[in-house]
Amino acid sequence: MFKTTRKNTHHHAAHCVKEACNCLCHQAKSVRTESGECSAGTELLESSDDSEPACCNNSLKLKSDLEENEKNSHELLIIIFSALLLAVLSFLDFPPHFKFPLFILTYLLIGHSVLLKAIEKLLKADIFNEFFLMSIATAGAFALGEYAEAIAVMLFYQVGEYFQDRAVGKSKKSIVSLMDLRPEVATVKRQGKLVNVSPEEVAVGEIIQVKAGEKVPLDGKILSGQSSVNTAALTGESLPREVKKGDEVLSGFLNINGLLEVEVAKTFGQSSVSKILNLVENAQENKAPTEQFISKFARYYTPIVVVAALIIALLPPLFFQQDWSVWLKRAFTFLIISCPCALVVSIPLGFFAGIGAASKKGILVKGGNHLEALTKVKRVLFDKTGTLTQGNFKVTQVFPEKGVSKEELLQLAAIGELNSTHPLGLALKENQNLEEAVITATEEISGHGTRTFYNGDEILVGNAKLMQRYAVAFQESDATGSLLYVAKNGQYQGLILVADLLKEDAQEAIVELNKLHVSQTMLTGDSQKVAAEVAEKLNISDYHANLLPEDKVSILENLLQKEEGLTAFVGDGINDAPVIARADVGFAMGGLGSDAAIETADIVLMTDKPSSIAQSIRIAKKTKRLVVQNIVLALGVKAVFLLLAVFGIATMWEAVIADVGVTILAILNVLRLLK
């Protein structure tokens, strides 16, 4: 919609303003004219060829929200009006020829949506569904002269549907609150001018400006300025984060009090906001086993109860000379009670609410199947760096070889890691002037380090395995910490010791997992000494060090064969992606984590907090518990009332309570997840 070319930009913008919103009039004190053009002192936001203005997406979202609110209000008005009509017809005495048409009118008013859906599904050869059951049962009640009961069935069914819609809306809002971070506009520096464009139009490497009070539209690195940013939309963290020159910021962060200039690192399609939106939008496509079971159950259950109703209606009158009207009424009552609404509605809603509750805590679950799998996790495997530790390394000691100064060794290591995004490489590049460094080739060797060519020299930076791989003569150190050996043209240059700190909640994460009876294993490519030190601090008894990515997969494979229950893996780097993919449940750190890890993971922790793992397991277990409660409640109550209907004890009114009442109770039970 609203496609345009650049020469029609202003016409396009005015059209969007007139038809959808005022947001294209970027203004402080101005007003829009009746023609839809911006008045003096305003500036139209430009839109590039064949694209939608940034605000149109937002205005359509607002329009969608308004339409949903109008729909809910419309449904509520119909329910109230129908209830009043039913009360008037039931308690006031009208002539029969006048009363019957009013009953028909009220029935069609409150039940038209059910009847239309039943006809629509019937045309598609889908007979056995709740709409069919409701339509047949209420039509039968009308045929038997039970007009008020037939209308009451439809009325209370619509009340249940109204509560369901509100419940779904509430669940969605808990996710939308996380998703309400899509930036509308990016202010880009182009040819010395600031131009407002859609974030989709900004290329990698361009410079954007983010003012106080604006959302960061794209992922990037701060070139100038400092500020506090609110990351709650992405991470769930309420405390602001201080950022300065050189720090990375993610799309969706809210700039609180400073002016920032940011160099764009990713296109909008690859940005954090875009990925989160995709994760949440696709989450419900992956159904949990319980949801799949209910879908299959409903397919077999419905025809069975229809056949049972036919037997109830026909058998006693045909073979035992019973009254037709009595047994037809019992059969119709049986059909109403048998509607599987509570199951079909509350179970998917339960998992949706669970995903919403997790998202409020900064935990993005990619589907109900992964949420249910969490309830069976018995062991968690942790990567160390960036997962249990901050991944914020600092150079603590430098040991150059004879003839090499500390400054030369640090500069050489920084050049070797120039293109690396690994936390160790970032620590080496800190406070080094690398603006004029131009490398000709670089290779990142997974689990070893980097091999870089600079000014004709081969530079190796990595662990002892890298030195051994390229036959570099060196003396292996037994110092505690992350050890980076440096070689130039096959000659050993020295050792740099880099230290990492534990995350603040790492110990809490282990304690909470122990409370849930979930065991832990730490896997790391670091030395045995470093691994032992970290494991001791965290009270992790099982750990493995000096691992390559394939070694982590092998250890996981062995555990999967031996362990009872499911095994989860938590990581953040590119080298963790294979293990994350192979684990029963894969976690990725959403802030520090690499794109590969986030794409592969089943669950993304936007807070980067390992303690969120125990929190996610608790949410999953509570979700499953409430879903099971709803299944037991629905089936138990229906079984009792179906028997009562067969023996004529339950009337149409009790049928309504059994069907709609149980549905409402199940929905209210599910909503406890969002509290």
* 227-230 β-sheet, strand order: 241-243, 227-230, 254-255
State phi, psi for 96 to the nearest 5 degrees. -55, -40
Pairing relationship of beta strands 186-190 and 207-210 according to DSSP bridges: antiparallel
Q: What is the DSSP letter of 38?
A: B
* Catalytic residue (choose from 126, 165, 180, 383): 383
How large is the angle between the packed helices 130-143 and 289-320, nearest 10 degrees? Answer: 30
Concerning whether 383 is annotated as a catalytic residue, the answer is yes
Q: What is the DSSP letter of 76?
A: H
Count the Cβ atoms, other than its own, within 10 Å of residue 488: 21
Concatenating the DSSP letter of every residue in 263-299 gives: EE-S-GGGSHHHHHHHHHHHGGGS--HHHHHHHHHHH
Q: CB–CB of 408/446 below 8 Å? A: no
User: Looking at this protein, which amino acid is placed at residue 221?
Assistant: K
| 412-417, long-range: CB < 8 A, 24+ apart | 412/459, 412/486, 412/488, 412/493, 413/461, 413/484, 413/486, 413/496, 415/439, 415/452, 415/454, 415/459, 416/450, 416/452, 416/454, 416/459, 416/460, 416/461, 416/486, 417/450, 417/452, 417/461
State phi, psi for 467 to the nearest 5 degrees. -60, -45
Q: CB–CB of 497/530 below 8 Å? A: no
Give me 518's structure tokens. Answer: 């979930």
Q: CB–CB of 656/648 below 8 Å? A: no
Active site residues: 383
